[in-house]
Structure 1
Amino acid sequence: MWLQFPLVVTAQVDLVLLLVTLLALWTRLSCLSYPGAVVFDEVYYGQFVSLYMKRVFFIDDSGPPLGHMILALGAYMGGFDGNFVWNRIGAEYPSSVSVWNLRVLPAVCGALCVPLIYLLTLELRFSHLSALGASLLLLLENALIVQSRFMLLESVLIFFVLLAFLSYLRFHNAPNSCFRLCWLLLSGASCAAAVGVKYMGLFSYLLLLGVASRHTWNLIGDQTVSHVSPDSH
């Protein structure tokens, strides 16, 4: 009988990673409905959200649609029907509009950037202390906190960019296995999502392509690696 008792499960928890993640969620999500008025480019992105909620066909020539669709998803979860006039910055949201839901997805993406940069630093072979320092810099950066707390796309873009690089490094550093390819697929999907949020995500894709090309070139010149085995590539 292959099953033996008692069944024992062992788990390792990085308390530093857990702590910076909780702090990131607190700084990005606390009092998210304040101020209860349109802030900066919310007046611009809100117009697209209303069109999605009203199911009105439109052509957006200002950029790719994925970012606007993510914002619309948050509005949909909050029951927003699109009946709000986005005509000026500072306009008060009515009580029928869930401001928290309009801003929650960018806030969550901004919060998740902190643990992502922690893990990314570790994948770059730096120490845990360096990873903590990098995550604290991102955690306490005032501009990133502000951008994450409103219905804007910068935090969503940064999230997908960091996820793409982390996934690729996990693929590159992981031992040969079938699961290793999942990291590569996640990296490609994250790159595509970054470009789908804003066209400037294309530069991150080109940078990642350059890093992958360098790794491939080094792999070709490594005579200790078998070029016959597909798992080595």
Structure 2
Amino acid sequence: MAAVQPLVFDAELESVRERLQARKMAGRDDSLWMTQYNTRNNVSTSAGAEFKQTLGGLIMGIDRLSQYEKSSGTLGAFFSYSHSNIDFSRGGEGHVDSYSFGAYAGLQHESGFYLDSIAKANLFDNHVKGRMNSGGAADGDYRTWGIGAHLESGIRLSNNKWSATPYMAFTGFTGSAQKYALSNGMQADVDTTHMLRAEAGLGMDYRLILSNGG
């Protein structure tokens, strides 16, 4: 179940990244926003465990866009809830309810350069129901915490209706360890989870302007 936490963190993070990108095109000073997100993952871990995750969630936030002489800045906060269903290939299942809150900031210069940052904390309520080698079943509940951050920088290069945005990003996440008891009396340990990822990419877009009237 520890491998599920970074996947939940990423799904929530992606919605905030998209919000920061959308804010670069927005003209309003203050804004309330809300979005729903859904993901599916098939995962194989280094320990040989395989599982399928189906996640659905809702995120709500508020932010402010400030205009400066040669740049604009966004500052906001958000809260999200998600529910994940987990099916293990070796038998058994589980689910994770995640509650998170965080803040984000973005700066965009008129030259096209931008810098985005996100920080958030998660509370994970975990339930697992596993099958024993003897053929029986046992279940248990436990709670863990997670914290993480994201930093992204790039430059938007525009030419009339076309634009290209090369960027680099770094994401880090740490989930807490926990010990818990199963319904059959066995003890289980969840190790600390760490994730560190570097990302480079290129975004492309084309703006289509529609004329009014016939």
Q: Name the structure, 1 or 2, with higher relative contact order (CA <8 Å, separation 6+).
A: 1
- Fold match by TM threshold 0.5: no
What TM bracket, shorter-length normalisation?
under 0.3
What TM-score comes out, normalization by structure 2 length?
A: 0.24
Which structure carries more strand by proportion? 2
TM-score (norm 1): 0.22
Q: Would you tell me which structure has more helix in proportion to its own residues?
A: 1
